[in-house]
């Protein structure tokens, strides 16, 4: 497959054919809620009455938005040195309970109250990559112009990133920037089951002390713990639907996984520019953890962009067993379950598009 690009479309015939580059200007411009959550607002969040923590978190975030948008102290209050309170909230809960919906709603609320660009939204990997591209101090300067910085998917994979993010958030908080984050793990338990170095744990504890923890209980609203409850699609069906769909791509699953190793995860969003449908043949289990973690990031970017997926499996393979039992019991298990949930939703969208 070769890339097919034009001034009117960046769609490609194959993801493997694409080697995206991302400018620093784009890295900053992309710190906005993804298309999937473009319409997310506090008013569109449906709190489950069976889980009161959802309504409580919604109410607290509405208060946070009002605090951030409130005018700065003036007159006597300013002369007395009373500073604006700087909120820092951390939403913890399982996958599919609406944490990202709430976080993007907070982002939209602040931008609508104070003007576009007042709040930044990005995933953990997007912020660490921004530091890599700009340098630490320029990143602090760029983000310090925002009133709110939101970090989604705060799941740390190595101590170096922990130290980096801890320093970044400390600098931003000291400059009066409000913070909000989501994760599937409480902040003082980040890294649990992965690293036990004393320095790492010390950074985790310092990071946790900065946040007000908001627990978001509930069940996965997508109601999927597997990739799909349906059988894999025939290869001929996948090829036919891809061929008749503008902006569709077709890749062998193994080839795509190998290609992901050559692209920085922060560029996976750019990899999908112009893509409207992804067809995968040879879809089957992933047995290596580093490969599985890259796949998780790709699934997140597909979900962000509402890109349906068509899956044609390997003969005899159970596509529902995408990750090994060991992976689903390990320190990254919540990432894997989130990916299964999201990929299940995208696969169902793909089957609806294929009318099967």
Where in the chain are the domains? 15-21+222-354, 31-215
Measured CA to CA in angstroms, residue 107 lies from 126, 147, 201, 221 at distances of 16, 10, 30, 22
Q: What residue has token string 């989604």?
A: 152
Task: Give pLDDT, residue 321.
Answer: 81
- The 10s digit of each residue's pLDDT in 283-338 is 999 999 999 999 999 999 999 999 999 999 865 555 568 999 999 888 788 788 88
Helices (H), the chain: 24-29, 52-69, 75-79, 99-114, 124-134, 136-143, 159-174, 198-208, 235-243, 253-260, 268-271, 289-304, 325-329, 333-354
- The 10s digit of each residue's pLDDT in 103-135 is 999 999 999 999 999 999 998 888 988 998 899
Cα-to-chain-centroid distance, residue 202: 26
Task: Give pLDDT, residue 338.
Answer: 84
Task: Give pLDDT, residue 155.
Answer: 67
Cα dihedral angle (293, 295, 297, 298), rounded to 10 degrees?
A: 170
- The 10s digit of each residue's pLDDT in 228-282 is 455 788 999 999 999 999 999 999 999 999 999 999 888 899 999 999 999 999 9
- The 10s digit of each residue's pLDDT in 51-98 is 999 999 999 999 999 999 998 766 555 555 445 678 999 888 877 789
Q: 31-215 architecture in CATH? A: 3-Layer(aba) Sandwich (3.40)
């Amino acid at each position: 497959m070769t890339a097919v690009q034009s001034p009117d479309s960046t769609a490609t015939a194959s993801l493997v054919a694409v080697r995206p580059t991302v400018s620093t200007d784009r890295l900053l411009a992309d710190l906005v809620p993804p298309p999937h959550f473009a319409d997310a607002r506090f008013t569109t969040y449906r709190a489950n009455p069976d889980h009161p923590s959802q309504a409580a978190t919604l109410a607290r975030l509405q208060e946070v938005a009002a605090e951030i948008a409130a005018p700065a102290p003036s007159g006597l209050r300013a002369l007395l040195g009373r500073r604006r309170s700087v909120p820092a909230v951390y939403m913890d809960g399982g996958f599919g309970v609406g944490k990202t919906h709430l976080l993007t709603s907070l982002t939209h609320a602040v931008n609508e109250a104070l003007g576009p660009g007042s709040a930044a939204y990005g995933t953990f990997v997007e912020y660490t990559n921004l530091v890599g591209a700009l340098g630490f101090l320029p990143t602090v300067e760029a983000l310090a112009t925002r009133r709110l910085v939101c970090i989604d998917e705060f799941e740390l994979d190595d101590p170096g990133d922990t130290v980096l993010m801890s320093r970044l958030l400390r600098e931003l908080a000291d400059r009066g920037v409000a913070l909000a984050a989501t994760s599937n793990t409480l902040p003082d338990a980040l890294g649990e089951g992965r690293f036990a170095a004393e320095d790492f744990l010390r950074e985790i504890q310092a990071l946790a002390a900065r946040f007000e923890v908001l627990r978001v209980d509930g069940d996965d609203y997508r109601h999927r713990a597997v990739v799909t409850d349906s059988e894999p699609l025939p290869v001929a069906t996948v090829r036919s639907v891809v061929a008749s769909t503008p902006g569709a791509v077709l890749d062998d699953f193994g080839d795509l996984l190998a290609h992901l190793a050559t692209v920085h995860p922060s560029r996976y969003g750019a990899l999908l520019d112009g893509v409207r449908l992804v067809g995968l043949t040879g879809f089957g289990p992933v047995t290596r953890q580093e490969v599985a973690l890259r796949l998780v990031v790709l699934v997140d970017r597909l979900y962000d962009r509402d890109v349906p997926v068509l899956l044609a499996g390997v003969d005899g393979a159970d596509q529902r067993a995408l990750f090994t039992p060991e992976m689903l019991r390990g320190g990254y298990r919540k990432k894997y379950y989130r990916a299964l949930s999201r990929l299940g939703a995208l696969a169902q969208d793909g089957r609806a598009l294929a009318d099967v």
